[in-house]
Structure 1
Amino acid sequence: MKRKQWLMPVLCMTVLILLLGLYLGMKNHSTKDNGTKKDEEDTTLIDMKSNDIINISFDIEGHKASFTKKGDSWVIDDDPDLPIDSTKLSSLINSVAGLKASRTIKNVDNLEEYGLLTPENQISLKNNDDKAISVHIGMRNKTTSNTYINVGDSTDVVYMVSPDLSALLPASKMDLVKNETYPSITDSNITKIEIQDLSNVLTLDNDEGQWYVDDNQNQKSTASSESVGALKTAITGLKFDNLVDYSGENRDQYGLKDPSLILKVHYYEIKNNESNKKDGSKESSSKENNSSKSSSENQEKIEKDMTLNVGNIGSDGSYYVQIEGSNEVHSLAAGSLDSIINQTAQNYWNKSMISLRSDQLNSLTVDYKGVKNKIEKISKEEKDKKGNASTDISYKMDGKQIDSDTFDVFFNKLTSIQAQKKDRDLRQKNDPEMTIMVDTEKGVKQVSFSIYDENFYMIVDDEGRPGLVSKTTIKEFFHAYEEIK
């Protein structure tokens, strides 16, 4: 009994000692953790304000490039005329000034492990207090993506920083130049395009919404809205790749003294003019019918021209190009010019058989298999009991009334015929099976159909352009004519 009485206090004391030991152990572990975190806090390596830095240097293409701040601008010391884009250099400086290390590695005895025995680059900074500091850039850690660096003359301490400093540095001096961009043009605002190569001048012109294409053979033809739209998209989508030369003194070197291609674009821009502000009291007292100026009255249409000269192909496969009036030479991806160069007028021809609306029609004469018939449109003005005017349209063939519905089917098929292709070099092999003379408000148009081979009919459209249409389509069209009654 006595043994049980003293056993319980002993057990309680033992448990208390164990709990106390566990508490002290956890406290000690926590203290160590806090100390580790404190040691791993970011360390400021460069304590300079961006605006105070007046000189920065680093290697570009194996040579040291030094930049000095002059007022609010930066110049490169060995080429002061080079138009440096100060915003680009300031962006680099902002990334380096105030640089902090996420980890410090001490007692380093092998810089090669960190890519610092032969650094990838070195950035040197100097501020207006004549304080200077250099950063040597090593390799990137594959796991953390941080960059190893060391600072100044220290060789036994390596730091890890998060910015990829090598990627921030320009690959060439031209990457820091303030260069022009390709003009921003809205494709719907383009009204004329001229493409001139060494042997041909191709002109596309918009006349009251209809595009026409003309070549140096002085043959103006209606153009396809789809093909012109693709060309305009290609033109507005052009983008300079790299600045090659800013001086404009070596045009012959780039083939720009005598360009292989000249692209001229006429377009317009809409400028919004600020309308005159009216006194508020006058506005409130004005009558409702005295409305303010419409938005169109506050807009100005500005006509503009852009000429792009295209020269030789460089070693990287890109074209050298230059905007007329600019000194700068840029590279432009060859693929972006594919749909612009080496084009002919035929590439832009529309594929329709005839451009005609029913309201433009006066009459048409059809010569089908040696039999001629003339179809006339009869327009009769009528008024209802309320005096509302309307026009009744009917048709007569050789003086005999015909069914308007069957004629409409025939007419719609005629105006919807699309050639698979049109080619000026196509030659007629057989006499026309059908010829149609169309009398319109703007004159007479003629189209014809003749067998070309077992699969196609050759058509000659209303502008005299030969093309090929499938036999099935033409047979259906002939059948529609035969159904007129």
Structure 2
Amino acid sequence: MEWMDFLTCVIFGFCSLDLVAETIVSFRISLILIIVIAVGVPIGSLLLLSQDSDLETNQQRRLFLYKVPEEKINSIEISSKVNKIKFKKSEKSSWQIIDGDKTFPINQTRWDGVTFLLKDARIQREIPGENINLSEFGLLTPEHRVIIGFDDNTSINIDFGDLSPDNTHQYVNFNNEDNIYTLHTSFGYVLSDLLNNPPMPDWVYSFEENSVDEILLYESGQLKNAFGRNIFNTNPSQWMICTISIDDVTGNNVLLEEPCNGEKAADKLRIDQFLNLVQSPKILAVKEIALETQADFQRHGITKESIYVYLRNNTFSENGTLIIRPITISLSNLSSKEISAVFQDSRDVVSVDFEWANQVYQLIK
């Protein structure tokens, strides 16, 4: 019955008692429903908002393994089962490589973009659980571990395990958490490359002794001594003391062939000792980098009159083309106990051990 009809019948007295009772009960039920709806809708809305908020938080947690400002990163240490290397930001905000007890300036060309990459790590998938078998993901003995340090003396560590079955992602463990995550393989590849092929400055060299076929020593801008051999024979020839000629026009000492040759055999033992020394220079510290003028080098005792050593180093490209990659060393005056050196005709000056520098000179003078 409609409420207006009910009121009319009550006023004029023609409603039965049963009808009145039924209508009152219906009114009570409607009132209760109104109250429930009035209270329930706000509560339900709050619950939905709370669930949405929790979902957003969970999604945010799963989006990145970590996220930090790039400028806060001040050290990166990468280690594997066989080797380790560390990169450290100096007080001047320039990055350095710490390899064992040696410190080198970074090769900026190869370093650019590394800290930008490491400012965050986007998660592809999360594998939750407290009883995960790390060995199933290659994380019991990780391929490599990375420790990233920040300027507030805190740090994070990431263990890198196996690749995913499709080789597009890599399993990682973050700060020894229970969960395992996957990151894109490019993230781990960059870090492993930094470990296995660090961005050393261009003047850091390596060579095989049997690839060198000529050794030249210059003093005061003049060729003083030379040694040569033929390394392309079936049996490499003996080291020879090269014949030095005088140029008719300039009056300078010159060689008439390359590699040079001569008639008198050199002391093989001394040459072998010399090559061993040059393979492992004893660098004490980097004194100054990116010098531009002759005056800059002169401040460190490096001039056109300095001792200059040249090794003709033969290498080959992938298609077998011969490429000459010289090894060069400039040394300051050996009368001083503090020896400066420039390797590979670079713009960086380093200090080297006096005994090392003196032996290099004495063996070929």
The structure that is strand-richer by fraction is 1
TM-score tier, shorter chain, comes to 0.3 to 0.5
The structure that is helix-richer by fraction is 2
TM-score for the superposition, normalised by structure 1 = 0.32
